[in-house]
A and B are shown apart, each in its own frame.
Chain A
Amino acid sequence: MAAVRRWRPWALVVLLVLLAVLPWGVSAYIVGVLTVAYYFAVYAMSWDLLFGFAGEVNFGPTFLIGLGAYAASLLDIHRWPVPLCVLVGAAAAVVGGAALAVPALRLRGPYFGLVTLVAVLVLQQVIVIFAGITGGEIGLSVPDVLAVDANPNYWYALAFMVASGGILVTLSRSPVGLILQASGQDATETAALGFNVAKHKVAAFCVSAFFSGLSGAMVVFYEGTVSVGSVIDLALGVQVIIAAVLGGRRTIYGAALGAIFLILANELLRPLGQLNTFVVAAVALIVILFFPNGFMGILGRAGERS
């Protein structure tokens, strides 16, 4: 175990350097795919903070992502500067998320999950109804992009993922992360130790919303467009959840790993045609069924053995 701990930080540094120089070694196509994967990884990591630590299943990660993406897009159309659009997008996700979480967290069991699920559908309808402002089902094009070339876009995404991941990992290992885990496991006992469980869970939801919204807003300025299908659709939310569970619950790292795997596999298996999605889904299903602790669980077990 001690040996593992010693080489782990170095392995991480080497890995990050490798990822940073990757654009010079692979095709622009792969660079583009990975760029998307990194933003997706932030969705999954944010989701794991809520599920893995606070113990709440959020079926509507795209509610938060969509709020961030659409708020940023609408402001950009009014020619606000891009950094401000992104920040306000994240803030919108936090406000919307808190408005949802405060009442929803009073509910027990599966009801919290159902509320978050319904929230996605409501947001989707709102976008469609106010088509005059939001572009409806067609979506919107934004005037600005982060960068024109693929490589800078890749580095933006990588830096963003590493920074978000760093913050989320630090948070999850801090005293607050400990209290959060305890709240997720046994709320009564945690309250009896003097911790305000609701406060900690709402805070976790806000942090999760912040990074989801931020990532959603960044994606808009990478793609140059926003639509219900790209940031709100339930299918996207399900993918986020699968990615996080596939990577390994309660690890944060795992969620990023699962997200990158999922996006890469989807792209690399594209030659299979329609079989592509099926194969990826089947792999995900097998991992979740037989290794419920995901990739990180498998890695952890291999590490313990060696």
Chain B
Amino acid sequence: MSPLLDVQRVTKRFGGLVAVKELSFHVEAGEILGLIGPNGSGKSTAMKLIMGIERPNSGRVLLGGQDVAGQPTHRIARQGVGIVFQHSRPLHRQTVLENIKLALLPDSLLRLAADKSVNDRACAIAESVGLGAVMHRRPNTLPFADLRRLELAKAIARDPKVVLVDEPFAGLTAAEVGIFSGLIDGFRREGRAVLLVDHNVKGVAALVDRVLAMYLGERIAEGSAEEVMRDPTVRAVYLGGSIETHARDAAVIDATPVLLEVADVSVLYGKAQALERVSLRVHEGEFVSVVGLNGAGKTTLFNAISGLVRYDGRIEWAGGSLAGRSPAAIARGGIVQCAETRELFGDMSVRENLDLGGQHQPPAESRDRLAWLFELFPILKERARQAARTLSGGEQQMLAIARALMMNPRLLILDEPTLGLAPVILEQLSKALERLRRTTAITVLLGEQNVTFALPHADRVYVLEHARIVWQGDPALFAKEAGAGYL
């Protein structure tokens, strides 16, 4: 029997960049193939080529023996390919149930009333993915995991033969990962061909039948999860690391003046307590890491410091209060936040994004800083004339940091810089931070979920959990005292 999905030597070029190069693989009915690779490896592009969101420059995509390469997305979808997007944009005026019904509708202009059966099927699907209790609510009132369930429900509604799932577990808690694994396993039991796209093997190892690892647009390994994890090329691409710490002498740091003092700061989002009496201190030249899981309150803390949210309590900066100052004034005062969402100007070039960051600096200084940043992040120099939108995730993060540094901050706030980045990119980012810390007197406040990334540079660590600081101290002690309880 021929495989349900058979991708043959597809290539996709974006200008000079070869995103996918002569890639071939197949997925059988009732099989889950994990397509893994670090950011920028081309795995997302490969998925888009199958779905018809991008057209391959060459190669074939066979669906049950029929070549669908280059066809428009809706035709490919009609032939039995479904996709579960990582980010969802549901219809916000409609209920969850109506959102599922949408996926059940025929592609017809003449259907002015939906069949009765549509409603029943939509309800059944909502129940099957665990949305039964909330199906009459609007999507914007749902927690993150339920929105992911909704995406899954929409894919199920189309009854696809081939299901593409983009980073199924990103941002989910361990318990939720278990539930989603069960749902995806259901696809296999129903005889569908499943393609899971993810950053690393570990996340999907328990679920997949086979793994294909990609790097720089090409296949580097294929086989069972264990085989791929043992593969030397894969290991070279995914350099793991143990936790190392290089804290500077606490006595020296305590002798320097306090730059930022956060005292008893609380933030309420409606009824939800986002921060509860949080206090922390950053000395001049210090590197402080705030570690905590998603939703612990890191971003809220940084937004309070940057003047973006209202808070109770006191925040002092270089001896003066920040209360009542506008976000722009705070930024000009030297606190520059590099947001989790990066906030780059996608249509502007790398160089233009950087120049914008240096807008308030004297031209000569701006030039020097630019040269220095190109040294710190050589890839940005290479990509200087490229639009920021076309950069890979890791490159975008580097650009976001570089742009923040162009503003010559006294305090650089980095919010979750590792978000969505593959290990190999983390390594580069980590080296850049290390160099930054060694060669300049900059003060850094880093918010991270990834402890391996946050600890090596830190002079001091705060652990944020459910809106409160639960531990603080020397990073070397973290592993002993707080590390076990953290995850």
Residues of A at under 8 Å CB distance from B? 170-171, 174-176, 178-179, 181-182, 185-186, 188-189, 191-197, 199-200, 203, 250
Contacts and interface: CB of A to CB of B under 8 A. Distances in A.
B303 to A, nearest CB: 24
Given A178-B91, A178-B98, A179-B102, A196 B107 contact: yes
A284 B152 CA distance: 42
Contacts of B78: 194
B197 interface: no
Contacts of B105: 175, 178-179, 195
A142 to B, nearest CB: 34
A178 B104 CA distance: 11
Given A174-B113, A178-B94, A193-B154, A185 B102 contact: no
Contact of B82 (A175, A192, A199): A192
Contact of A191 (B72, B102, B112): B72
Contacts of A182: 91, 102
B183 interface: no
Contacts of B77: 191-195
B74 A191 contact: yes
Contacts of A186: 89
Given A191-B77, A194-B158, A176 B91 contact: no
Contact of A185 (B89, B154, B158): B89
Nearest to A184: B91
B116 interface: no
A193 B102 contact: yes
A192 B94 contact: no
B109 A203 contact: yes
A185 B99 CA distance: 13
Contacts of B298: none
B101 A178 contact: yes
A186 B154 CA distance: 14
Contacts of B53: 188, 191-192
A130 B192 CA distance: 63
A186 B85 CA distance: 12
A197 B176 CA distance: 33
B459 to A, nearest CB: 44
A273 B73 CA distance: 56
Contacts of A171: 112
Interface in B460-480: none
Ranked nearest first, the 6 interchain pairs of A and B with the lowest CB-CB distance are A191-B73, A194-B77, A174-B112, A191-B74, A186-B89, A194-B78
Contact of B109 (A189, A191, A200): A200
Contacts of B91: 178, 181-182, 185
Given A185-B91, A188-B73, A250-B93, A193 B103 contact: yes
A188 B54 CA distance: 11
Contact of A192 (B73, B101, B112): B73
B73 A199 contact: no
23 contacts: A170-B112, A174-B113, A175-B102, A175-B113, A176-B111, A179-B105, A181-B94, A182-B91, A188-B73, A189-B85, A189-B89, A192-B51, A192-B53, A192-B73, A192-B82, A192-B83, A193-B158, A194-B74, A194-B158, A195-B74, A195-B77, A197-B74, A199-B109
Find the residue from A170, A185, A192 having the highest chain B CB count within 10 A. A192
Contacts of B158: 193-194
Nearest to B105: A175
A137 B194 CA distance: 65
B103 A175 contact: no
B441 interface: no
Contacts of B72: 191, 196
Contacts of A195: 74, 77, 105, 107
B241 to A, nearest CB: 37
A10 B113 CA distance: 23
A203 B83 CA distance: 26
B109 A194 contact: no
Contacts of A197: 74
B74 A196 contact: yes
A163 to B, nearest CB: 16
Contacts of A194: 74, 77-78, 107, 158
A97 to B, nearest CB: 16
A174 B73 CA distance: 23
A175 B85 contact: no
A94 to B, nearest CB: 14
A304 to B, nearest CB: 12
B74 to A, nearest CB: 5
Contacts of B154: 193
B114 interface: yes
A97 B342 CA distance: 41
Contacts of A189: 85, 89
Interface string B80-99: 00110100010101100010
A234 B53 CA distance: 37
A175 B111 CA distance: 7
Given A181-B93, A191-B73, A203-B109, 4 more contacts: A175-B105, A181-B94, A188-B53, A199-B109
Interface string B100-125: 01110101110111100000000000
A294 to B, nearest CB: 14
A186 B83 CA distance: 14
Contacts of A176: 108-109, 111-112
Contacts of B93: 181, 250
Contacts of A193: 74, 77, 102-103, 154, 158
A193 B82 CA distance: 7
A202 to B, nearest CB: 10
B484 to A, nearest CB: 41
A175 B89 contact: no
Interface in B395-449: none
Contacts of B85: 189, 192
A175 B114 contact: yes
B87 to A, nearest CB: 9
A197 B53 CA distance: 13
A167 to B, nearest CB: 10
Contacts of B52: 191
B310 to A, nearest CB: 21
A261 to B, nearest CB: 23
A183 to B, nearest CB: 10
Interface in B41-92: 51-53, 72-74, 77-78, 82-83, 85, 89, 91
Find the residue from B53, B83, B108 having the highest chain A CB count within 10 A. B108
A193 B102 CA distance: 9
Find the residue from A171, A174, A182, A250 having the highest chain B CB count within 10 A. A182
A293 B52 CA distance: 35
Nearest to B78: A194
Contacts of A196: 72, 74, 107
Nearest to B98: A178
B73 to A, nearest CB: 4
A158 to B, nearest CB: 25
A171 B113 CA distance: 10
